[in-house]
Amino acid sequence: MSRTRPVATAVLAAALVAACATTTSPTGRTQYVGAVSQAQLDQLGAKAFAEQKASKPQASDAAQRRYVACVTDSIVAGLPAQWRAYRWESAVFVDDEPNAFALPGGKVGVYTGIFRVARDHHQLAAVIAHEVGHVVARHHDERITRQVGAAGAVNLLGALAGDYGQVATQGGSILAQAGFLLPNSRAQESEADVVGQRLMAEAGYDPRGAVVLWRNMAEAGGARPPRWLSTHPDPASRLRELDTRAASLEPVMEQARRAGRMPRCR
């Protein structure tokens, strides 16, 4: 068995590399994707989410959980059919870090620290829409495709092949192996800003909420920005871009509201 495992892993790695392809991101950027199927990505996302729920305490405040679920559902309602088809699930984790994430398979996590900077539902929508933007822009697929062929990919491939128990023991968690919660690249963060701000406007949220959110985030960090901002674009230029886009997205918000998409999450 020990002799055949490296061969099987090598064959699987070769097959995944052969399956890689280029595509165009929502902002026109060339992406390398396809090392794993969408079904496999969803499986990894579900495992990572379960792992996070097992390792981090969840908030006991039912109103807080309903609030996050309401905002998540309103963002998801405006997604293309491919992404709406998932049974989206959200969770609120007890952690002072102002952070959030979304995973393939329709999983959204918010840390309680985010409520210090996202002070109304427009600002929380900016957080969640930004994270959902990473999913719909296929950033997780892009990240894993870059990992294939690297040393760490062996454990990830073992997880995809179903040998999760051994991976968890020998190679660390799915979160670590897939790198799902590690900082994204600046190109991906900028792209998630673009995609997320449109998603929130299409859901009827004020796109200027994104400007206020990131201003609050930068101010909360002081001389040492929160970890969430470590690979994000320069705060000043980011705010300018968000502000400019907000003006152009106001008609999108107004159209959504005329169509009955009037979020009432509190």
Q: What one-character-per-residue DSSP string does 60-96 give?
A: --HHHHHHHHHHHHHHHTTS-HHHHTS--EEEEE--S
- With contact defined as beta carbons under 8 Å apart, do 96 and 220 qualify? no
Distances from the Cα of 113 to the Cαs of 64, 117, 119, 255, in angstroms? 12, 8, 11, 32
β-sheet bridge partners, residue 91 = 109
Please tell me which residue in 131, 189, 191, 202 is annotated as part of the active site. Answer: 131
Site of tokens 């997780």: 140
- 241 as an active site residue: the answer is no
- With contact defined as beta carbons under 8 Å apart, do 130 and 103 qualify? no
Phi-psi region of 162 (alpha: psi -120 to 50; beta: other; left: phi over 0): left
- From CA 176, how far away is CA 255, in angstroms rounded? 41
Site of tokens 């060339």: 30
CA dihedral sign, ordered 80, 137, 69, 178 = positive
Please give the structure tokens belonging to residue 145. Answer: 């495709």
CA 5 to chain centre: 32
Question: Which positions are catalytic?
Answer: 131
